[in-house]
Amino acid sequence: MPRKLRLEFPEACYHVINRGNYRRDLFAGKGSAEVFERTLFEVCARFGWRLHAFIIMRNHFHLAVETPEPNLSDGMKWLQGTWAMRFNRFRGEVGRPFQGRYKAIHVEPGHALAQVAHYIHLNPVKAKLLPAERLREFRWSSLWHFLRKDRPACLDPATVLRESRNLPDTKEGWKRYIEYLALLAEESPSQREKLYGRLSRGWCVGSKEFREELKKDLKKQGADLDKLALLGGWRAAWQEEREAEWEKRLQAAAKIIKVDLKKLAGRKSATEKVLLAALLKATSAASNSWLAARLGMGQPASVSQFVRRFRLNGGEDKHGYQRILSRVKT
């Protein structure tokens, strides 16, 4: 059966869900949730995502994510693939941890997105892990980070607070938000189903007008599919824009480490090549194929091997890497 078309556009918002294969408890083991959370923050940094809410439960996860660039598919491929590799290596297992392709529901920005965030934050209550008043104690949740000053830069509380009667981003504001969640949790099962049941089903959450606009875009995408495939369509144009951004970042990194890109060493694993590749992979979604061709590093798979070896050998603690990385990010 062919996969359904995934509509991607700048500033799109999604409710993303996936479960463990055969509903297994993926995140119950030691370190599993921690590694997934870290990988999630990495993908947000690499692909420029904004997280409005997330939760990592025993056998599934939820994300309320906004993509300033149309790159949900690329980012989810990296997130799930990278975490699966780390999970299998840690557990000494093989195979697919997830049940299959993730589910992504389009969400209208604003009120609908905030409703999805509330639903996500209330998952531990729904699973009867703790009462709503103690949600601040659930570790693997955006709410846990929102209550801290050192929250990751990718976490954006603005919509959640604004759509909860313009609460302030303060200790008192988050206390009132948890009280609000507790009120929502007191609704009867039938009322909760009416309010939240649709937030994890179907293909779209939002107003009638929002849904109709998305339908038009999906129909247009489907009708023009053959033409898009023949001409390269917007994906080819977008790829050109992405590669231009990667090149801009590469030029900046090369300037910082004082490397002439026109006079790179011939050896595929030359130090400056691997350093540049590591910097690009840490600060962008630059593909192995592009890096291999642009830097003369051989096959795409070799790029990952060289960068991994660089990290295992402590490369991120040498060559002033962290200082250079912070400059490349800006």
The answer to whether residue 83 is domain-embedded is yes
Q: Are residues 171 and 57 in the same domain?
A: yes
Range of the domain at 164: 12-220
Output the CA angle 252-243-303, nearest 5 degrees: 80
243 and 216 share one domain = no
Is 1 part of a structural domain of the chain? no
**For residue 227, what pLDDT is reported?**
47
Q: What is the pLDDT of residue 86?
A: 86
Q: What is the DSSP letter of 155?
A: B
Whether residues 210 and 269 share a domain: the answer is no
What interhelical angle do 271-283 and 233-256 show, nearest 10? 130
> Does 210 share its domain with 258?
no
**Residue where a domain stops, chosen among 185, 220, 255:** 220
Total structural domains within the chain: 2
Out of 187, 220, 253, a domain closes at 220
Q: Are residues 275 and 299 in the same domain?
A: yes
Is the domain of 22 the same as that of 78?
yes
Whether residue 186 is found in the same domain as residue 295:
no
Do the domain assignments include residue 230?
A: no
Given a contact cutoff of 8 angstroms between Cβ atoms, the answer to whether 157 and 165 are in contact is no
240 and 319 housed in the same domain: yes
Q: Let me know if residue 268 belongs to a domain.
A: yes
pLDDT (0 to 100) of residue 20: 80
The answer to whether position 168 is within a domain reads yes
Q: Are residues 119 and 64 both part of a single domain?
A: yes
Q: Taken in order 65, 67, 70, 76, is the CA torsion positive or negative?
A: negative
Q: What is the pTM of this model?
A: 0.75
Among 220, 251, 282, residue at a domain's last position: 220
Q: What is the 3-state secondary structure (H, E, C) of 68-88?
A: CCCCHHHHHHHHHHHHHHHHH
In a domain, 191, yes or no: yes
Burial category of 254 from C-beta neighbours within 10 Å (exposed 0-12, middle 13-18, buried 19 and up):
buried
Residue 221 is predicted with a pLDDT of 66
Do β-strands 103-107 and 60-67 pair in parallel, antiparallel, or remain unpaired? unpaired
Structural domain includes residue 130: yes
Same structural domain, 295 and 163: no
Q: How many CB atoms lie within 10 A of CB 76?
A: 21
Residue 246 lies in a domain: yes
Q: Average pLDDT for consecutive 10-residue bins of the chain (330 residues)?
A: 65 92 70 92 96 95 96 93 82 66 92 96 94 95 95 96 96 96 80 65 83 78 50 55 86 91 90 91 90 94 92 82 82
Burial class of residue 3, CB neighbours in 10 A (0-12, 13-18, 19+): exposed
Total residues belonging to the chain: 330
- Please, are residues 164 and 52 in contact by the beta-carbon 8 Å criterion? no
- 102 and 179 inside one domain: yes
Alpha-helix residue ranges (DSSP H) falling in the chain: 32-47, 72-91, 111-121, 123-126, 142-146, 158-162, 171-185, 189-196, 208-223, 225-231, 233-256, 271-283, 288-295, 300-312, 321-329
Q: 254 and 178, same structural domain?
A: no
Query: Residue 200's domain is classified under what CATH number?
Result: 3.30.70.1290
